Structure 1
Amino acid sequence: MTALKNQVLREVGALARCIQSISDIQYRNYNLQRGQFIFLTRICEHPGINLIELSHILKVDKATTTKAVQKLMQENYIVRERDRADKRMWHLFPSTKAKEVYPCIIEEENRYIEICFQGFTQKEKDHVGRLLKKMRENIEQEWKALKSYKEESR
């Protein structure tokens, strides 16, 4: 049996799943279902973003993005506007409701960050941030290559 070389991805995954589970419980009050808050925050941070750009930012497929956006529209969290030049393209904007909820979500996210970094020095926090960013950039190249392969095979 082949041994795992390092536990880091397991730790990152466990951290992400813990935060996801906590968030799903916290955001039920806002009628946000599994992971929808991630889409909502990015739309608030990038008003006018389209589905493809949103999918790329979140590293998910377009079908997942479409489904999440439809549910957010049903809950009146986002507004969709057709592109003036390309009528096939839609831009996503946060509604008033989204703008009211967004600060609460960011406040919770900041609270999770504080909890995760308990006992860390500022230097350690900065170092973790740089290392994780580097890891993401490294694996993102693989993601882009695979994504472009998948799109070419269509």
Structure 2
Amino acid sequence: MVKHLGKYISTIHRYGQTFFNPLLEKYNLNGSQRYYIFLLNLYDNNGIIQEELSKKVRLDKVTTTRALQKLEQEGYIYRIVSEEDRRAQRIYTTPKAEEIREELENIFSNWNEVMLGNLSENQRKQLFKLMEQILSNVTDYFEEQEKNLAANR
């Protein structure tokens, strides 16, 4: 029998959504748009340009724009035109976003504990190392695909 890693990742992702949605509902951050992913990235990259944020979260520009519009509408972020490049916008968190930072980080830490359960510290380290390698493999693959696409245009 062939095992498919994607099946496991997909199932874990769906369970994650079930875990997060009720906890994020009071912040209007639940749903399939992954608003919280953008907010969590902004906490560590406040002032990032929208295009860079889109690359960091590995989501397309349209999804990024929609999510940022929602976050802005909810009062979690604001955007300022970049002084270096007038076509780009820098994104910043608001005090409202900073107020919920610790709680959001706790929600994600709790989900990590659910997923990692009874794994030993060594197993956890191995798992993260393997997941980083898998992510690197996938990233390399898609970067190569993009290069090939660009070369064939």
Segments of structure 2 that go 5 or more residues without pairing to the other structure are none
Q: Name the stretch that deviates more: 21-30 or 60-69.
A: 21-30
Residue number in structure 2 paired with 1:26:
23
Moved over 6 A (4+): 151-154
Partner of 2:10: 13
Q: Which string of whole-angstrom CA distances, capped at 9 and with x for unpartnered residues, describes residues 64-94 of structure 1?
A: 0000001100001001111112111100011
What TM-score does the superposition give when structure 1 sets the normalisation length?
Answer: 0.89
SS of alignment partner, residue 104 of structure 2: helix
SS of residue matched to 1:99: helix
Show the counterpart of 1:124.
123
- The alpha carbon displacement at 1:148 in A equals 4.6
Letter in 2 for 1:90: Q
Identity over aligned pairs, percent: 24
CA–CA distance in 2 between the matches of 1:115 and 1:90?
37
Aligned to 1:84: 83
CA RMSD, Structure 1 to Structure 2 (Å): 1.8
Mark the runs of 5 or more structure 1 residues left unpaired by the alignment: none
Deviations 1:106-133 (A, max 9, x none): 1010011111111111110001110111
Change (3 A) 1:114 1:63: same
CA contact (8 A) 2:48 2:92 kept: yes
Q: What corresponds to 2:103 in structure 1?
A: 104
Task: Give the Cα separation in 2 of the matches to 1:129 and 1:67.
Answer: 30
Give the TM-score normalised by structure 2. Answer: 0.90
Question: How many correspondences in the alignment?
Answer: 151
Alignment of 1:61-80 (within 5 A): 61-80=60-79
Superposed displacement of residue 32, structure 1: 1.3
1:133 paired with 2:132, answer yes
Please state how far the C-alpha of 1:8 moved relative to its aligned partner. 1.6
